[in-house]
Amino acid sequence: MTPSEVLPVHLTFDDGPDPEGTCRVLDALHEAEARATFFVVAPLARREPALISAVLDAGHQVELHCTEHVRHTDRTRKEIEADTEAALADLHALGVRPRLWRPPWGIVAPWTPEIARSYGLELALWTIDPHDWRGDSSGEMLAHIEPRIEPGAVVLLHDGLGPGALRTGCVETVALIPTLVDSIRARGFEPAPMAEAITARPKTERASA
């Protein structure tokens, strides 16, 4: 199989950038020589521009999560439109032009797809959720993920601490990265940013953070 034929599996990280968590995740990805996609909270990105630059410089992808981490079903259409517009303005100021949008908790309202289209965004959810927000061990998470690894799979992870997180840091997520990357490659796949295979993917498991 030539490099161009290697099928991707997508590691994605939500709720950052975080000065501690994102740095550790970046270090682990660097050691594993793997690339990923980061769905960022815009005010945090504005606060940590150097981290956004570090993510991009390492060959990763930066995409849109939100301004305020709220369920779309808990807000009006106008409120989510304003949230999205503000987030995009913040990211554009950092030189980031998102193409993908992951709503908080993966929860969409009936009008969420219309808002996405109006801003030229594509909704990007996930297929595998190891619930790292709970603080489960890296071994437990790997056991949950491995049977579900397939071409185009999207793994939901977090480099920040969003609302509802039960952990105090991302130590176990960082520990998961090298073993997960090894497992992906052992199956003949390669971790890759979602930009290399952009499509809206169904969410098959509910995240809680």
Asked if 100 contacts 193 with a C-beta cutoff of 8 angstroms, the reply is: no
Which residues, including other chains, have CB under 8 Å from residue 8's CB and lie 6 or more apart?
151, 152, 189, 190, 191, 192, 196, 197
What does residue 136 show for φ and ψ, rounded to 5 degrees? Answer: -60, 155
pLDDT tens-digit series, residues 31-79: 999 999 999 999 999 999 999 999 999 999 999 999 999 999 999 999 9
Q: Mean pLDDT, the chain, as a whole number?
A: 93
Within the chain, strands assigned E span 7-16, 37-41, 61-66, 100-101, 122-123, 154-158, 189-191
What residue ranges define each of the domains in the chain, with the CATH number in brackets? Answer: 3-197 (3.20.20.370)
> Which pLDDT tens digit goes with each residue over 67-95?
999 999 999 999 999 999 999 999 999 99
The pTM assigned to this predicted structure is 0.92
**pLDDT > 70: percent of the chain:** 91
Would you mind telling me the total number of residues written for the chain in this entry? 209
